[in-house]
Amino acid sequence: MVHTTERALSRATGWARFPRHHGRSRPIFLCTAVSAGLLAGCSSSKPQEAPPLVSVEAATVVRKTIQQKIKTDAVLYPRDKAAIVPRITAPIEKFYVDRGSHVHAGQLLATLENKDLAATLTENQGAYQQAESAYASAQESSPHDLKLARQQLEAAQQVFDARQALYRQGAMARKDVEDAGLALTQARNQYALIEKKYNLQAAKGGLTAAKGKLAGAQAQLSYTKILSPISGVITDRPFFAGETPPSGSPILTVMDLSSVVARARFSPQQAAELRVGNEAAIVTGQGEAGTTGKVVVVSPALDPNSTTIQVWVEAPNPGGRLRPGTTVTLSIVARTVKDALVVPAEAILSGSDGAKSVMLIGPNGVVHQTKVETGIQDDREVQIVVGLQPGQKVVTKGAYGLPEGTKVTVSTPAAAAPAAEKPGS
């Protein structure tokens, strides 16, 4: 039986028979060979494993409008502001407004005590009337030659005016106008000589001086009435009625809060992208939507201390929600590209050499690393200038470390949790 099995194996495997004196070793060798044959048969019959699928999130390349925005912190200022400082030092008699009062330009806000100034005005009015009367008397009491010279001056003035009017209409020769002007000059000089002779000029000088003092007294009295130079809201009133403010101290502050101006500083490179008229958004520190406006000032000069350029954005302030002095986030639209190829910013991979690429998903679900050239970028999306076509899909999450040629399956991002309903909604 053993010999029969040995012969069968020898025919099947091509092994030679061994001499009979190696009989003890032959069964071990045969068992080893049989085991190797069985293992080889098992290995060849096992199926090959398929490569694993990698789950990723993806986005489609689309065409849309994209905007490049430059962001920085800014401080809010009122559209206009007036810190009212009295022109004279006097106790405050009465306030007609409080903090928060809305006022218009020219409105009476307060009065200062003015009894002494009113008395000075009355005194100067009397002095002016006396000087005016003295001058009139001097004119009336002047001798015959002075009156004649005055009449000749008035007549020469009338002739000159008439000829000049006719000359403008083309009905008078230029020489006739020049002759009339010469006669007027001679009459004026003659009157001045005679007037000086009879001291009429002194009376006229007294009248002029009295008139100036009267105007000064009227101005001093008018300074006791505090009027608003602009329309706005009273934001500060540091004194009370009866107090005497120190010289140079404002007693009221008026701000025009219908608009606010956000003032920010940008680097020269950023400021080079901005122009007057660019759209901008103002967002408060709490992340709430503020308001939108436009760039009104891009400073032409560099601040030597900070090496920055100041930019102003003016925006409407309905209801006065935005308060001056608040620090806000300013976002200015520097560039707008319409009909641009756009992908999410998280899809862009950056190499050590600065090259940009994306993991492009082929029709069979296999990803290929594809080089791209990018354009402008906003908070969430990037413009693709070269490298992609509309409708293609790129990996957004799971792209880093993903080997070339990997087969992927696209998973759906988890839906955002619904917002909680407000009570009573």
Q: What does the pLDDT read at residue 372?
A: 93
pLDDT score recorded for residue 105: 95
Structure tokens given for 417 = 């949790």
Asked if residue 131 belongs to a domain, the reply is yes
Q: Look up residue 415 and give its two tokens.
A: 């839906």
pLDDT > 70: percent of the chain = 81
Same domain, residue pair 178 and 150:
yes
For the chain, the C-alpha Rg in angstroms (whole number) is 50
Which of 308, 313, 259 is CA-nearest to residue 282? 313
Indicate if 287 and 387 belong to the same structural domain: no
Q: Which two tokens stand for residue 81?
A: 């502001």
Residues 149 and 213 in one domain: yes
Q: Say if residue 267 is in the same domain as residue 324.
A: yes
Token pair belonging to 375: 């354009």
What CA dihedral angle connects 418, 419, 420 and 424, to 10 degrees? -120
pLDDT band per the 50, 70, 90 thresholds, residue 229: very high
- What mean pLDDT, rounded, does the chain reach? 83
Exposure on the CB side of residue 27, measured as CA atoms within 13 A: 4
- Condensed to tens digits (0 to 9), the pLDDT of residues 297-354 reads 999 999 888 899 999 999 999 888 889 999 999 999 988 899 999 999 999 998 888 8
Residue 14 is predicted with a pLDDT of 44
Note whether 177 and 275 are same-domain residues.
no
What local confidence, expressed as pLDDT, does residue 384 receive?
Answer: 93
Strands (E), 208-274: 225-227, 232-236, 252-266
User: Within this chain, do residues 297 and 391 fall inside the same structural domain, yes or no?
Assistant: no
Looking at residue 375, its amino acid is: G
**How far from 97 is each of 82, 109, 159, 241, 367, CA to CA, in Å?**
15, 6, 59, 12, 73
What pLDDT score does 160 carry? 93
CA nearest 61: which of 395, 412, 388, 398?
388
pLDDT in the model for residue 392 = 92
CB 283 within 8 A of CB 331: yes
pLDDT computed for residue 277 by the predictor: 92
- End residue of a domain, out of 336, 371, 394: 336
pLDDT of residue 155: 93
For residue 366, being part of any structural domain is answered with yes
- Compute the distance between CA of residue 164 and CA of residue 171 in angstroms, rounded to an integer: 10
Global pTM reads 0.60
Q: How far apart are CA 321 and CA 291, in angstroms?
A: 10
**Among 42-46, 108-112, 283-287, the least confident range:** 42-46
Contact yes or no for 92/241 (Cβ under 8 A): yes
Residue among 254, 258, 256 nearest 293 (CA): 258
Are residues 274 and 353 located together in one domain of the fold?
A: no
> Does the residue 283 lie in any domain?
yes
Has residue 316 been placed in a domain? yes
d(CA 239, CA 233): 17
* CA atoms of 385 and 374, how far apart (whole Å): 5
**Amino acid residing at 300:** P
Q: What is the mean pLDDT of residues 387-411?
A: 87
> How much is the pLDDT for 291?
86
Question: What are the tens digits of pLDDT across the range 7-17?
Answer: 444 444 444 44
What H or E segment, with its residue span, contains residue 206? Answer: helix 200-222
pLDDT of amino acid 49: 59
User: How far is the C-alpha of 33 from the C-alpha of 284, rounded, in Å?
Assistant: 84
Please indicate, yes or no, if residue 348 is contained in any of the structural domains.
Answer: yes
Choose the final residue of a domain: 209, 226, 243. Answer: 226
Answer for the pair 373, 384: CB distance below 8 angstroms, yes or no. yes
In the chain, how many domains are there?
Answer: 3
Please report the sign of the dihedral spanned by the C-alpha atoms of residue 115, residue 118, residue 122, residue 128: positive
Task: Report the amino acid identity of residue 327.
Answer: T
Q: Are residues 326 and 383 in the same domain?
A: no
- The pLDDT of residue 413: 59
pLDDT category at 50 given cuts 50, 70, 90 is low
What CATH number did the domain enclosing 302 receive?
2.40.30.170
**Residues 165 and 204 occupy one common structural domain:** yes
β-bridge mates for residue 67, sequence order: 336
pLDDT at 114 over 90: yes
Q: What is the pLDDT of residue 172?
A: 86
314 and 202 within one domain: no
Please tell me whether residues 297 and 402 are part of one structural domain.
no
> What is the domain extent for residue 321?
71-79+256-336
Q: Alpha carbon 418 to chain centroid distance?
A: 35
Question: What is the CATH number for 370?
Answer: 2.40.420.20
Q: Is residue 293 part of a domain?
A: yes
For 136-145, 169-178, 404-413, which range has the lowest pLDDT when averaged over its residues?
136-145
Backbone phi, then psi, for 37, in 5-degree steps? Answer: -65, -40
Is residue 418, in this structure, part of any structural domain at all? no
The larger pLDDT score, comparing residue 79 to residue 21, is at: 79
Decide if 8 is inside a domain: no
The rounded distance, in Å, linking the Cα atoms of 299 and 297 is: 6
**Could you read off the pLDDT of 349-364 as tens digits, one per residue?**
988 888 999 999 988 8
Element containing residue 43 per DSSP (H, E): helix 25-45
Instruction: Give 393-402 pLDDT, tens digit per residue.
Output: 999 988 787 8
Is there a single domain that holds both residue 203 and residue 126? yes
Domain boundary among 174, 209, 226: 226
